[in-house]
């Protein structure tokens, strides 16, 4: 069951907060031949790998319009409504991020500005397996569509009959995905990175996956395409005091644990009495879960940490840098102001992680494995790039010329200095001509 740790010394924090994560670099030797085969043999290699890894023989890799229509008719009305509501909220939150740096004069006659440009071709990887994540289609395709990406390519593993999960197809179609392919694993990442006869080469790849998918993303990210962020197993941290409800805490710990055996749930509490109450609730609720076995495995490397002072608990959480953080304390807004490392934060009794996973509007594609110290989760910016512009008038260049020339000279970049001087010569010559004409 879950490990309980009480009042740990600061020097032990690093070992306590260690994730149950496999070093994906150890998989590079396994994944690289797959990438090479797809790069060299394209669709032929993809079809072979689909048979080898997903145990399905396919005639074609791309999902047809007929398959999308069939999936749409099979989706229950209530699920369609739920997906639509979630899409509206996600769309509203991400549309609010459409800001551009306005024109500004940094000094008179020197104008600078930025323009937001959509990434032209993006690839989305949607895991299949035990829980096909159609919600991740929303989280990736909605901002891609808002950003104006010209081509949105989606890869997801098919089942043994060669079918893609109906809700994945329906949601992808609803969110403007342009092409859907029945490809899973490292071979899907290779297909989008290199391009094949069937699969377009993309400029950036998004989406979670298993350790082989993440290893493939890291490898293609070195030379071929951009990737969204490094990724590891999903995780949640909860900060609770005596005001927190044990039932809510147990439910949230288990909602993370049911993702998979390598997920991690960590409770930080300043109330020692809360621990036994949460342990009881975990036992009760665990028995009711269809994915009980998965959750049990995840709980074996999950933790409850009692730490008496709230200041120390906040420090420890910032050191852990969780993907998801739920704060159930009396003054949760005050506590939240002191959080500097987390992917997404959920405040109060009525903000379960499930809300952000599905329908509150924020994005659930977030940095894991401590990368929240340096990475943000997916936003509209993830699907765009920004180009800087500047326009100097002749007077603007004259005002900056001395600084530019001195800096260039001191960096021993003579051509940089000359690029200014040659323009100044023209300006001085024109001024002299103007003066002689006036006389």
* Rounded distance between C-alpha atoms, residue 221 and residue 356, angstroms: 28
pLDDT value of position 300: 92
Is the pLDDT at 85 greater than 90? The verdict is yes
* Rounded distance between C-alpha atoms, residue 273 and residue 269, angstroms: 9
* Rounded distance between C-alpha atoms, residue 193 and residue 306, angstroms: 45
Structure tokens at 181: 């392919």
What would the mean pLDDT of 246-257 be, rounded to a whole number? 97
Distances (CA, A) of 19 to 108, 234, 313: 53, 10, 18
Is the pLDDT at 436 greater than 70? The verdict is no
Angle between helices 273-286 and 246-257 (to 10 degrees): 50
List, for residues 205-246, the tens digit of each pLDDT value: 999 998 899 999 999 999 999 999 988 889 999 999 999 999
How many alpha carbons fall within 13 Å on the CB side of residue 368?
22
Distances (CA, A) of 164 to 131, 133, 190, 247, 388: 12, 11, 20, 36, 42
Into which CATH architecture does domain 394-438 fall?
Answer: Up-down Bundle (1.20)
Is 259 annotated to bind ligand? yes
DSSP 3-state assignment of 346? strand
The confidence band for 139, taking pLDDT boundaries of 50, 70 and 90, is very high
Closest CA to 169 of 84, 68, 78, 60: 68
Question: Distance from CA of residue 376 to its chain's centroid?
Answer: 7
Is 125 annotated to bind ligand? yes
Q: What is the 3-state secondary structure (H, E, C) of 207-274?
A: CCCCHHHHHHHHHHHHHCCEECCCCCCCEEEEEECCCCCHHHHHHHHHHHHCCCCCCEEEEEECCCHH
pLDDT value of position 187: 98
* Rounded distance between C-alpha atoms, residue 25 and residue 5, angstroms: 31
What would the mean pLDDT of 114-138 be, rounded to a whole number? 91
Structure tokens at 333: 């807004």
Is 390 annotated to bind ligand? no
| Buried-state track 26-47, b at ≥16 Cβ within 10 A, e below 16 | ebeeebeebbebbbeebbebbb
What would the mean pLDDT of 65-84 be, rounded to a whole number? 96
Say if 3-21+232-361 and 24-228 have the same CATH topology.
yes
Closest CA to 88 of 99, 77, 96: 96
The confidence band for 172, taking pLDDT boundaries of 50, 70 and 90, is very high
List, for residues 18-67, the tens digit of each pLDDT value: 887 767 788 999 999 999 999 999 999 999 999 999 999 999 999 999 99
pLDDT value of position 161: 94
The residue behind tokens 């807004």 is: 333
Is the pLDDT at 282 greater than 70? The verdict is yes
Which one of the listed residues 324, 337, 409, 439 is annotated catalytic? 324
* Rounded distance between C-alpha atoms, residue 215 and residue 226, angstroms: 14
What are the sequence ranges of the domains in the chain?
3-21+232-361, 24-228, 394-438
Is the pLDDT at 184 greater than 90? The verdict is yes
Please state, rounded to an integer, the average pLDDT across all residues of the chain: 94
Is 357 annotated to bind ligand? yes
Please name the fold of domain 24-228. Rossmann fold (3.40.50)
Is the pLDDT at 437 greater than 90? The verdict is no
List, for residues 350-381, the tens digit of each pLDDT value: 999 999 999 999 999 999 999 999 999 999 99
Distances (CA, A) of 71 to 66, 173, 182: 9, 10, 14
203 or 105, which is more confident? 203
Is the pLDDT at 157 greater than 90? The verdict is yes
Is 363 annotated to bind ligand? no
pLDDT value of position 435: 59
3-21+232-361 under CATH 3.40.50.1950, yes or no = no
pLDDT value of position 230: 84
Is 161 annotated to bind ligand? no
List, for residues 297-356, the tens digit of each pLDDT value: 999 999 999 999 999 999 999 999 999 999 999 999 999 999 999 999 999 999 999 999
- pTM for the full predicted model: 0.92
> Is the C-alpha dihedral spanning 164, 169, 171, 176 positive or negative?
positive
Report yes or no: 255 and 223 within 8 Å, Cβ to Cβ.
no
439 is catalytic: no
The confidence band for 131, taking pLDDT boundaries of 50, 70 and 90, is low
pLDDT value of position 438: 56
- Percentage of the chain lying above the pLDDT 70 cut: 97
The confidence band for 431, taking pLDDT boundaries of 50, 70 and 90, is confident
The confidence band for 430, taking pLDDT boundaries of 50, 70 and 90, is confident
Is the pLDDT at 399 greater than 70? The verdict is yes
Structure tokens at 255: 């909602």
The confidence band for 382, taking pLDDT boundaries of 50, 70 and 90, is very high
pLDDT value of position 267: 98
What would the mean pLDDT of 102-112 be, rounded to a whole number? 88
- The DSSP call for residue 24 is G
Report yes or no: 112 and 104 within 8 Å, Cβ to Cβ.
yes
273 is catalytic: no
Report yes or no: 203 and 122 within 8 Å, Cβ to Cβ.
yes
pLDDT value of position 98: 84
The residue behind tokens 């180009």 is: 387
> What residues does 347 pair with on adjacent strands?
327
Which one of the listed residues 281, 323, 353, 364 is annotated catalytic? 323
């Amino acid at each position: 069951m879950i490990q309980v740790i009480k009042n740990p010394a600061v020097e032990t924090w690093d070992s306590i907060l260690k994730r149950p994560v496999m070093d994906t670099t150890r998989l590079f030797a396994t994944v690289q031949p797959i990438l090479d085969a797809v790069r060299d043999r394209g669709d032929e290699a993809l079809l072979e790998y689909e048979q080898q890894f997903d145990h399905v023989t396919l005639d074609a890799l791309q999902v047809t319009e007929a398959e999308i229509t069939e999936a749409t008719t099979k989706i229950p009305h209530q699920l369609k409504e739920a997906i639509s509501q979630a899409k509206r909220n996600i769309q509203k939150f991400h549309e609010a991020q459409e800001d551009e740096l306005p024109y500004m004069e940094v000094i008179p006659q020197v104008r600078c500005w930025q323009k937001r440009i959509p990434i032209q071709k993006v690839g989305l990887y949607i895991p299949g397996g035990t829980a096909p994540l159609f919600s991740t289609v929303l989280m990736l395709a909605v901002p891609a569509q808002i950003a104006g990406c010209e081509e949105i390519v989606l890869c997801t593993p098919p089942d043994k009959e060669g079918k893609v999960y109906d809700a994945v197809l329906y949601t992808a179609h609803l969110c403007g995905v342009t092409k859907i392919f029945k490809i899973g694993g490292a071979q899907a990442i290779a297909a989008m990175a290199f391009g094949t006869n069937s699969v377009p080469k993309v400029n950036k790849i998004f989406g979670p996956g298993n350790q082989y998918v993440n290893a493939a993303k890291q490898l293609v990210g070195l030379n071929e395409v951009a990737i969204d962020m490094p990724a590891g197993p999903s995780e949640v941290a909860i900060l609770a005091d005596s005001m927190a409800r044990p039932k809510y805490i147990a439910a949230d710990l288990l909602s993370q644990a049911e993702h998979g055996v390598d997920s991690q749930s960590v409770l930080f509490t300043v109330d020692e009495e809360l621990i036994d109450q949460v342990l009881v609730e975990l036992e009760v609720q665990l028995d009711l879960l269809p994915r009980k076995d998965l959750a049990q495995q995840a709980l074996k490397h999950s933790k409850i940490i009692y730490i008496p002072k709230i200041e120390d608990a906040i420090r420890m959480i910032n050191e852990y840098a969780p993907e998801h953080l739920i704060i159930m304390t009396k003054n949760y807004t005050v506590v939240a102001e002191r959080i500097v490392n987390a992917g997404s934060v959920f405040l109060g009794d009525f903000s379960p992680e499930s809300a952000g996973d599905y329908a509150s509007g924020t994005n659930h594609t977030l940095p894991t494995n401590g990368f929240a110290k340096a990475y943000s989760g997916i936003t509209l910016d993830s699907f765009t790039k920004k180009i800087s512009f500047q326009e100097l008038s002749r007077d603007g260049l004259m005002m900056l010329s001395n600084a530019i020339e001195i800096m260039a000279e001191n960096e021993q970049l003579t051509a940089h200095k000359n690029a200014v001087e040659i323009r100044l010569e023209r300006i001085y010559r024109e001024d002299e001509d103007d003066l002689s004409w006036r006389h």
